[in-house]
Amino acid sequence: MAVSRLMAVCLSVVAASFNSAISFSGILLAGGKSARMGTNKALLSHNGKPLWQHQFDLLSAAGCSPVFISLRQKEDWVPAGVTAVLDLDDAGPLGALRAACLTATSSHIVVLAVDLPAVPLTWLEKLCARCRPGVGAVGQHPDANFEPLAAAYPIELRHTIEDGLRRGQFALQNMVRRGVEVGQLEPVRIQAYRADWFKNWNTPEDVVR
């Protein structure tokens, strides 16, 4: 009995140490040009609040602290107290991820695009639960494509991101695939019937209020 109790205590200590090594910052990607929408997507209304606020609150509810907003330039709509991270590389989402990695002090960053309002809290929580020190989690569709704009990345992935930027390879699919190959990302299966979670708002016809 004493041995069993000792083993239980040891496992508890190991689990606590493991959990303390994992922390999450959130990065809301809101730097797109919204050309096809014709207006700033971040300011569209969704469930009674601006879309950016809905997504920001989702990241907070998933346990991310702090939550940053990624932008191409400073915007007046960002409230005081919220940190905006500027994509100085002007390299789209890949540049935004690099800027987030340089800003965050957590072990992982949870990324969410502003125009993916159907992503549920349970998905972000599932990704966070799959993370380990130095390893993040990313969804993978049945066609083998990844879902990089609602994912959890380890800070260590910054080197892979910077390598892609140096090579002029800005496609997120390539970066994620490389992360999986080197063991920094774990694919999480996305069931076909959950594809609607990842439909983004590109045009006025896509908007669901």
What is the tally of structural domains in the chain?
Answer: 1
- Non-local (6+) Cβ contacts of 59 within 8 A are 26, 27, 28, 67, 110, 112, 124
Residue 50 and residue 44 in contact, taking contact as beta carbons nearer than 8 Å: yes
- CA 57 to each of CA 63, 104, 153: distance values in angstroms, whole numbers, following the listed order: 10, 18, 19
4 lies in some domain: no
Q: Is residue 11 one of the residues assigned to a domain?
A: no
Residue length, the chain?
A: 209
Closest CA to 196 of 116, 110, 112: 116
* 77 found inside a domain: yes
Rounded average pLDDT over 91-115: 91
CATH number at residue 30: 3.90.550.10
Say how far apart CA 121 and CA 26 lie, in whole Å.
13
Residue 101 has pLDDT above 50, yes or no: yes
76 or 155, higher pLDDT? 155
Give the 3-state secondary structure of 169-204. CCCHHHHHHHHHHCCCEEEEECCHHHHHHHCCCCCH
Give the C-alpha separation, 147 to 138, whole Å: 6
- At residue 65, the pLDDT reads 95
**Averaged pLDDT for residues 124-150:** 97
User: What average pLDDT score do residues 155-173 get?
Assistant: 91
pLDDT in tens, 186-199: 999 999 999 999 99
pLDDT confidence band for 204 (50 / 70 / 90)? confident
Residue 8 clears pLDDT 70, i.e. is over it: no
Tens-digit pLDDT profile for residues 23-75? 999 999 997 766 667 778 888 988 889 999 999 999 999 999 999 999 988 88
* DSSP 8-state class, residue 142: T
Q: Is the confidence at residue 14, as pLDDT, over 70?
A: no
**Does residue 3 fall inside a structural domain?**
no
76 in any annotated domain: yes
| Domain membership flag for residue 136 | yes
Return mean pLDDT, the chain: 87
For residue 9, is it within any domain? no
More confident residue, 93 or 136: 136
Q: Is residue 12 part of a domain?
A: no
Range list of β-strands (E), 37-83: 45-46, 49-50, 67-71
What pLDDT score was predicted for residue 88?
A: 67
The percent of residues in the chain predicted with pLDDT above 90, rounded, is 57
pLDDT at 145: 96
Residue 175: give the domain boundaries: 21-204
